[in-house]
Amino acid sequence: MNFISKRKVVFISFCTIVCAVFYSCADANKEGEYFYYRAINDRDTALLRYTKLEDNRIFGQYEVIYSQSRKDSGEIRGIISGDTLKGSFYYHPYGGGVLKRYPVALLKRENKLLLGKGVISIYMGIPFFLKGDTIDYSNPEFIFEEIKK
């Protein structure tokens, strides 16, 4: 093989890989439908966007804006079990700083999501709701309503 044909083979291989990456990313967006929710509590606003993955897992973005002066934003990951979504919120407080993890539990009622409260424990640096205690949805901090994007 001469030098020109080696360059052609490398160029064609590179183009093939780039095209494969672009098409696979486009297909990934088509697979999961995104769900958009918003909740308002006094001057605080929470925004939630997630998509369902296989095995009832979810992945998305969650943002809480406090009195329009500061916000916690990051990603949410979890599992849907029946009418309950349980997972973790990974965020940088105040838009910066050290990455934190916080347990999240949402209960679906009449096309709304209620943010639950419960006793949080930490095991090996991972916060979670205690299994013995029930998560309380009776007085949620946020009631999310689905919005169309």
Based on the domain organization, do 88 and 131 belong to the same domain? yes
pLDDT at 122: 87
Based on the domain organization, do 78 and 110 belong to the same domain? yes
Based on the domain organization, do 45 and 81 belong to the same domain? yes
* Number of structural domains found in the chain: 2
Based on the domain organization, do 3 and 56 belong to the same domain? no
Each residue of 4-24: pLDDT tens digit? 565 555 445 444 443 444 444
pLDDT at 96: 73
Based on the domain organization, do 109 and 124 belong to the same domain? yes
- The answer to whether the Cα torsion of 97, 142, 76, 29 is positive or negative is negative
Each residue of 120-130: pLDDT tens digit? 888 898 898 88
Based on the domain organization, do 105 and 42 belong to the same domain? yes
pLDDT at 92: 83
Based on the domain organization, do 22 and 70 belong to the same domain? no
Each residue of 85-94: pLDDT tens digit? 999 999 988 7
pLDDT at 64: 92
Based on the domain organization, do 62 and 84 belong to the same domain? yes
What range does the domain containing 27 cover? 1-31
Based on the domain organization, do 62 and 110 belong to the same domain? yes
E runs forming strands in the chain: 34-41, 44-52, 57-66, 70-81, 84-92, 100-109, 112-115, 120-123, 126-129, 143-147
Based on the domain organization, do 56 and 124 belong to the same domain? yes
Based on the domain organization, do 50 and 105 belong to the same domain? yes
Each residue of 37-84: pLDDT tens digit? 999 999 999 999 999 998 899 999 999 998 878 888 999 999 999 999
Alpha carbon distance 112, 88 (integer Å): 19
pLDDT at 86: 93
Based on the domain organization, do 3 and 14 belong to the same domain? yes
pLDDT at 1: 53
Whether the pLDDT of residue 2 is over 90: the answer is no
